[in-house]
Amino acid sequence: MLRRLSALFLACLLLLPAAGRKRVAVVLSGGGAKGMAHIGALKVIESAGLPVDIVVGTSMGALIGGLYSIGYTPWQLDSMVRCQDWNVLLSDRPDRRVQSIDARERSARYLVSVPLRKRLKESVLGGMIRGDNLAELFSTLLPGYNDSISFDSLPTRFACVAADIRTSREVVFRSGHLYTAMRASMAIPGVFTPVRLDSMLLVDGGLRNNFPVDVARAMGADVVIGVTVQDAVPKSPEELVTLPEILNQAVNVATRVKYDENVAQTDVLIRVPVDGYGSASFNPTDIDSLIARGERAAIARTDSLLALRRRAGLDTCGTGPARRHVDPISPEEKIHVTRVVFADIKKDDARMARRKCGLRDSSDISLAQIEQARTLLRTASIYTNVSFRLVPDSGGYVLRYQAEEHYEKTVNVGAWFDADEIATLLVGGRLHFDTRVPTLFEASVRLARRYGGRVSLTAEPTPMRRISLSYDYLHNELNANRNGRRMFNTSYDSHRLGLEISDAWFRNVRYAVGARFEYFHFKDFLSESAAYTLDGRDPYFINYYARFDYDSFDRDYYPTRGGHAELGLTAYTDNFINFRSETPAVAVHGSVEVAIPLNSRLTLVPAVTGRALLGEVLPFFYSNTFGYPTGGRYLDQQQAFCGLYATELAERYFGTIRLRLQQRIGRRHYVSVAGSYGMSSNELIKIFNSRQLAGIGLTYGYDSFIGPLEASLGYFNKSNKVALYINLGIPF
């Protein structure tokens, strides 16, 4: 009993400041990206020798303050925020580098994915971002702080503020799950989904108390250093133009009385000028500038900080025990895990994650293994919002995975614009069924001049292995050239019924085998050459194929590292065995593309592609074609070719070499020069002496949030003219 009392007494002493000195609190205001300035101010406060006993924050101030409270230094926070991809972090889209190939293709195809939950209004109006990626990041940044705790027990006492929109009440977090408290404090209405806790519906604390000095005083602070990035009131009409600016100002006006009262209670106020920056200024240049502004604003108050140091009794009494620092866990660093727990996750999937990622009870497990299992469950199976927590346990940690929602239902929207079709809209939906074998139903409609649709039903007997039955319809309009001269133009409807078995070897590799029935109904066919004619019948085919894909590009567009490869074989028949009473026609195709970074802004992207048609009789509909910057533009077998913005016909054997040099200018602007050289022949041994093809293109691109906006000038040697091509988005 005596030992327990002694230990309790010692713990209380450690929580108290050095005898005779006053308690120092730092209060950090909300402000979205502008709150990055808090990091620069904290650097100066620490350099001035001011110990921080209490830290209180709202919104971004809660995130910075929460991490600071568990021991991260301002310099660690500086490095941390600079290395994040904030476009990914402030979304629910998994980082492309950890997605499966199927998930990457789906993510590139759709601009917006809205999850449909049981409450439809919550899905549409509650906020677009659940915070999946933030949860993943904080699971690794808060080791040992994933359980429900008192925030007074942290190395630096901490509190943050949220608002309960059910009761209009201010909610002060001083205990609970640390991440949940920070997440609630920054839940901007309409952007982030609210946090449901007990009977409360919690949103951004800035709606009630954006500069919570009063909370710090209630926690026993004797002196308060306040850092604020809140905009000044009033503003001129010229400064209030956009909707976010107007809404932000409305909140500032509504909370102004409380804000002014808290400013009056502040001993040293560090007001950071943030003119020209907004709540969404998360690009690297703005982050760097905001941190520097926070540092300069604090330096300007150095005399006041030093005077406060003397007033707090630090020169005579000392600062007390040194603040404990924490280092983030590196991906390869191992921690001892006593138990691995999977909550709301099927036993078969849990066994798969254990086996593939090497998760065993009472073993040392690296953070990379932990994240690999989470990614596997999130991208390859039937779960959404998969999170993990490391809960302290005797001799190590309990690793707990949690899937908050099963059988995700989503509505997806994609868009694409170019000089040919003007506008194309893709609307789709996904629905998981809670069956013995997880089953996924997908449907999409393409609205454009070339309209169509697709429905598919996919069973997933084991994670990453899929059996799919699909039907595709497309109304296509095709103009085909040879050496720049029109050969024929046609419009037709194609119907495709397919059965496919595919498997993905985790993230970067996928293979598939399948069979398809294809039927073409031609509406018009106008030929300029007797070599291209139809026999009057609508053709149909039964085809078999095998395909291998590899993709490790770091980005969907403008990649800077990684590679992409395809290898495939297709057999064409019209009676399951033969084609026109001969052996089946066979197509073999392959491509390799690699991104080689020459420096931080310049990337070289070489590529090699080829396709060969084998057989006595060949189906005209699967002839080799090429043209446009990306493959598959009008026909599945169409290969990309620089400088050519039309569909060109090629012979049986066709291959190209492409080379692109892309230069990033600023943050989102790109200029690239690309060239293609191709060879086409009906005889393989004569391919070097037959039709020689060349194209070159000069492109300016802007990497917008809906995809690349590009304007290109191209030259193709067979048409002997320069063409202009404009596109926006990623084609589908």
The rounded distance, in Å, linking the Cα atoms of 553 and 97 is 8
Distance of alpha carbon 360 from alpha carbon 362, whole angstroms: 6
pLDDT in tens, 628-669: 999 999 999 999 999 999 999 999 999 999 999 999 998 889
Rounded to whole angstroms, how far apart are CA atoms 290 and 39? 9
Identify whether the C-beta of residue 527 lies closer than 8 Å to the C-beta of residue 486: no
Over residues 506-544, the pLDDT tens digits come to: 678 999 999 999 999 998 888 877 767 777 678 899 999
Phi, psi of 45 (to 5 degrees): -60, -45
String of DSSP letters for 298-332: HHTTHHHHHHHHHHTTHHHH---SPPPP--PPPTT
Distance CA 112, CA 114 (A): 6
Comparing 96-100, 271-275, 560-564, the range with the smallest average pLDDT is 96-100
Q: Average pLDDT for residues 696-703, to the nearest whole number? A: 95
pLDDT (0 to 100) of residue 481 = 92
Q: How many CB atoms lie within 10 A of CB 6?
A: 10
E-assigned strand segments in 181-244:
195-197, 200-204, 223-228
Provide, rounded to the nearest whole percent, the portion of the chain with pLDDT above 90.
45
The reported pTM is 0.76
Q: Would you state the pLDDT for residue 17? A: 53
* Residue 177 in this model has a pLDDT that exceeds 80: yes
Q: Which domains occur in the chain, in start order?
A: 24-92+129-312 (3.40.1090.10), 334-405 (3.10.20.310), 411-729 (2.40.160.50)
DSSP per-residue codes, 587-624:
EEEEEEEEEEESSSSEEEEEEEEEEEEESSS--GGG--
Is it the case that residue 565 has pLDDT exceeding 60? yes
Q: What is the pLDDT of residue 248?
A: 65
Look at 399 and 17; give whichever has higher pLDDT.
Answer: 399
- CB proximity list for 8: less than 8 A, separation 6 or greater: none
Q: Is the pLDDT of residue 82 over 80?
A: yes
pLDDT the model gives residue 442: 94
Percent of the chain with pLDDT over 70: 86
What whole-number distance in Å separates Cα of residue 535 and Cα of residue 551?
Answer: 41
Angle value at C-alpha 270, between 269 and 271, nearest 5 degrees:
105
Query: Is pLDDT larger for residue 694 or for residue 49?
Result: 694
Q: Note the Cα 176 to chain centre separation in Å.
A: 29
Residue type, 246: I
pLDDT at site 432 = 82
Position 234 pLDDT exceeds 80: no
* pLDDT 10s digits, 101-146: 887 888 888 887 777 765 544 444 455 677 777 877 777 777 667 7
Nearest to 193 by CA among 90, 123, 93: 123
DSSP labels, 398-453: EEEEEEEEES-EEEEEEEEEETTTEEEEEEEEEEEE-SSS-EEEEEEEEESSS-EE
